[in-house]
Structure 1
């Protein structure tokens, strides 16, 4: 089975997952833009089990629909690596850039298109949602 490891910039914090992602997507919401310091978040969802190595600092944020998300980032270099959603057991979303793999699968979905920067063009075949459909 395919194993992937995502890690922070300094290497102190990492997460290893098995298999293919259950979904890969982009989020253009303003919270993801400020969290990543970029125009959007590029995330991959995986089912457990997964293994975390190193220390993480946590930040909990409530989404527009009321769900709570716990983001984990490296307390040394500040890289956001992964997050979980309260009440959703066994699942984890990982920042695709933390895999440092230019061959990682492309996004399937794009949410919060209403906040997408005008210069960002979606690849062909990506499902686009004005808000988060969940």
Structure 2
């Protein structure tokens, strides 16, 4: 089975997952823009099992629809590496695509919070676009 390892910039925090992502997407919400320091977040979702190595600091944020997201980042270099949704930790983890440092990683299939997308960000033609979060 294929494994993928994502790590922070300094290498102190990493997460290893098995198989292919269940989905890859972009989020343009203002919280993700602030959290990443970029104009969107690129995330890949995986099912268990996964293995975390190193220490993580957590930040919990409540989303627009009331879900609580638990973000893990490296306390040394500050990289945002992965997050889970409270109540669904045993089903899914979302990992920052950039932390895989793999230019061959699968492209996104969807994009959420398009109402917050910077107008100069051009998406691939086959990406499904949602004005907000479709859930």
Shorter-chain TM-score tier: over 0.9
The structural deviation recorded for 1:95 is 0.1
Distance 2:65 2:109 in 1: 22
Q: Tell me the alpha carbon deviations over residues 19-58 of structure 1, each in whole angstroms, 9 at most, x when there is no partner.
A: 0000000000000000000000000000000000000000
Q: Tell me the alpha carbon deviations over residues 44-79 of structure 1, each in whole angstroms, 9 at most, x when there is no partner.
A: 000000000000000000000000000000000000
RMSD of aligned residue pairs (Cα, Å): 0.4
Distance 2:58 2:3 in 1: 25
Gaps of 5+ in 1: none
Number of equivalenced pairs: 134
Gaps of 5+ in 2: none
Q: Which residue of 1 aligns with 2:132?
A: 131
Distance 1:48 1:38 in 2: 28
Distance 1:71 1:130 in 2: 23
TM-score by length of 2: 0.98
Structure 1 residues 2-81: aligned runs within 5 Å: 2-81=2-81
SS of 1:11 mapped into structure 2: coil
SS of 2:98 mapped into structure 1: helix
TM-score by length of 1: 0.99
Q: Which range moves more in the overlay, 84-93 or 25-34?
A: 84-93
